[in-house]
Amino acid sequence: MHRLPAFVFLLLLFLASCMTPAVPPDPDAQPPADSLAQAPVEDYDPLLLPEDEILLPLRESHAPVGQALPADTLAAMPDSLNQEQPNALPREGFQVQIHSGRKLEAAQEVQAQALLLFPDHPVEMVWDAPNYKIRVGFFAAREAAERLKHRARRLGYGKAWVVLAMREE
């Protein structure tokens, strides 16, 4: 019984508030001071900023592309650069991913454990937004990566899997 008068009162209050004329915004009115701090500056041009003085050291000029280097330059190069490295890692290969997660601390713990469990293989952390991934080894043949994956699963990394990876040179 008491609900009906309350409902009628609220309905009349709502209708009265809907009938009041809306006040158009004043174009000359200044926004509150705190909203000015958040408003983007539209006349900002980064090209008008003063430039920093960047001084690069001068380097010896090398032979133009397509020309051979002089013999004395080749002799001065370290052996690792002067000849092809037979043990160099391939550019494309396979790795075993043992962890993928969003927490850096957890990824660092897994990486530290993997360094101890796989001392004969490289262990790296890869940031692939939004996850940190821990990958072990780098193999040209998928079969070798599969063997390491089975070893990782036996060591407690039950969700280890083989991924195709590119090595930056």
Structural domains of the chain sorted by starting position, each given as residue range(s) with its CATH number in brackets: 92-166 (3.30.70.1070)
Q: Contact at 8 Å (CB) between 96 and 56?
A: no
**Cα–Cα distance between 128 and 107 in angstroms, integer?**
12
106-121, pLDDT tens digit by residue?
A: 999 999 999 999 999 9
- CA angle centred on 28, ends 25 and 34, rounded to 5°: 80
Residue 34's pLDDT is what?
56
Q: What percent of the chain has pLDDT over 90?
A: 41
**Cα–Cα distance between 50 and 117 in angstroms, integer?**
53
Whether the pLDDT of residue 128 is over 70: the answer is: yes
φ and ψ at 122, to 5 degrees? Answer: -70, 140
Residue 74's pLDDT is what?
45
Across the chain, what does the average pLDDT equal?
74
Whether the pLDDT of residue 47 is over 60: the answer is: yes
Contacts of 86 (CB under 8 A, 6+ apart): none
Is the whole-model pTM more than 0.85? no
74-107, pLDDT tens digit by residue?
A: 444 444 343 444 455 558 899 999 999 999 999 9
Chain-centroid distance of CA 6 in Å reads: 58
